[in-house]
A and B are shown apart, each in its own frame.
Chain A
Amino acid sequence: MASFVTKKRGILFPIALAAILFLTLFPIYWILAISLKTPLENISPVPTLFPKTITFQNYAGILSGGYLRNLGNSVFVTAASTFLSLALAFLAAYSLSRHRFPLKLNYAFLIWIIVAKMLPPVVLAVPLYDMFAKMKLLNNLWGLVLVYQVYTLPYCIWMLFGFMKSLPLEYEEAAELDGASPFQTLGLVVLPLVRTGIVATAIFSIIVAWDEFLFSLLFVRSPELLTLPLVIANFIGEYETLWGQLMGVGLLATIPVLIFSRVVYRRMTQAYALGLK
């Protein structure tokens, strides 16, 4: 079925293409443009498409405002929570794909974590806040690393479970015959085999953790511990006219994840194929 636009190969197709690209890319361009304008130009009632004078003063403001520290917090929390999720999920996914637990635990657990992922996180936030307060894990980046598992762990278990399920068992059986212990088999045979799966899983987990807002809003108070989404939210709320700096921080928060677009596109194209071929 030729596309009803490509079929004509006329003027319509490039126009459609350009329109979509414009709609997608313009707001991203706008982030960049605002971050390069002077504060005065940004509050002018006549918005300019290009900065009249390109200035880096907003970026200087970000540096002197100490927001690189917040970038560091985001990187740390994202990396640590992804690492923790991958480690737990690697073990759990292997276990669930190789052993039949009693009482249909395999089903129950996998279904449960999907349900957990569907819940609005605020539902869990209230009791967790209480619990984390008692454990002295509030206002602590490690607390965030733990609570992010609500989002990242279900993701990682499901993705890695898919990869593990499709692994042939022969390698593991061979390792066992050679006298490898279960942990050796896991580390030396299974881990290298699912390496690409782990990388793909890590990327999705990174994107989720990087974007997280609710728990960092509730669990972290000190300015020097905030993650980037929180800094942006504070900018939006408190300094309503510092658009240049706001967009500068926005760009800092954007670039690290945009580089994954290609992988995400590939991965999703595979994952959502219909399987008719």
Chain B
Amino acid sequence: MKPSGRTRGKAPFYWLILAPALAVMLWLTVYPIVNILFTSFQSYNYLTDARHWVGIKNYTDILGDRVFIRSFTNTVIYCVGTTLFEVSFGVILALVFYGEFRGKSAFMIMAIFPMMLSTMVVCAVWKTLYHYDIGLFNYILKSVGLAKIGWLIDKDKALISLALVDIWQWTPFAFIVMQAGLSSVPTEIFEASAIDGSSYRQTLFRITLPILRDQILLLLLLRIIDTFKVFAKVFALTKGGPGNATETTSYFIYREAFSYFKLGRSSAASVITLVAVGLASIYYLRKILRED
């Protein structure tokens, strides 16, 4: 991240051309965060415009609110579950489809279609597949003599159904990242190991996976960061229900602010989320800093 080479030209020019982007980012990200920090210590109803200081009441309220706690645990379960599945599938697929074969690039290009689609399109098609009465999944279950499943309406299954959609959409990302990593390893390394008489399993656990370790960690982080934000899928498929079964922190913040107009509570929930994201990303940031 150091500026390459020596500094050229005059400083004012560089300030001038950095200024627009700097201003936009300050305006769109720094200001809002400062704003929610303040608002989180206030009671603020957007509709009546009544605003006054309440100390840490919002925080104690939120942390004692069953719905918020539920939304937080749901988010963590969803985030960890989808990430683990996506990354392990990605690693397995990269190993299975390692090496050259006819039509590989066409195959890879089709394999990443799901991550290219708009999330809303993905939700739409899965909503039809999941439909209780006229969906394809329940039709298949019924025709093989099994009971229908309330994919999105059963409170024990709805979160899993949401996770399945994410896994379908983003495993391709894990696949392509792992296959890029794996195919950039010089083949000599594997050949040497084969000459030494290692079995496939030995090579896998002693050489391949250790080489890919950093790549796997990076992938885990990218997916954790992304799945932690989950909002659009909840909005389109379940609206947080049934009950609070698929309530997530993003959805909680959205509802507190835009349905109940309780901006203090919504801001306090945002700050808690910020802290959680910050803690989770320290490792990632340190890695980026070390690289440059």
Contacts and interface: CB of A to CB of B under 8 A. Distances in A.
Given A30-B129, A106-B3, A109-B25, 18 more contacts: A4-B96, A25-B110, A47-B134, A47-B135, A96-B3, A98-B14, A115-B278, A122-B254, A123-B32, A127-B36, A211-B120, A229-B120, A236-B123, A257-B117, A269-B183, A272-B177, A276-B185, A276-B211
B109 A262 contact: yes
Interface in A124-160: 124-131, 146-147, 149-150, 153-154, 157
Contacts of B231: 120-122, 213-214
Given A4-B95, A24-B113, A99-B11, A268 B211 contact: no
Tier of interface size on chain B = 35 or more
Nearest to A44: B134
Contacts of B217: none
Given A96-B18, A113-B25, A218-B258, A118 B225 contact: yes
A153 B32 contact: no
Nearest to B276: A120
A214 B96 contact: no
A236 B125 contact: no
Contacts of B80: none
A253 B21 contact: no
Interface string A5-49: 111000001001100110111011011001000000011111100
B120 A207 contact: no
Interface of B: 1-5, 7-11, 13-15, 17-18, 20-22, 24-25, 28-33, 35-36, 39, 46, 93, 95-99, 101, 105, 107-114, 116-129, 133-136, 139, 168, 172, 176-177, 179-181, 183-187, 190, 193-194, 200, 203-204, 207-208, 211-212, 215, 225, 228-229, 231-232, 235-237, 249-250, 253-254, 257-258, 263, 266-267, 270, 273-274, 277-278, 281, 285, 288-289
A128 B28 contact: yes
B193 A126 contact: no
A111 B18 contact: no
A91 B128 CA distance: 46
A94 interface: yes
Interface stretch (A52-60, A61-69, A165-173, A193-201): A165-173
B47 to A, nearest CB: 12
A104 B175 CA distance: 37
Contacts of B39: 126-127
Nearest to B93: A20
B7 A165 contact: no
A206 to B, nearest CB: 11
B134 A31 contact: no
Interface string A167-210: 10100110010000010001000000000000000000001001
B176 A265 contact: yes
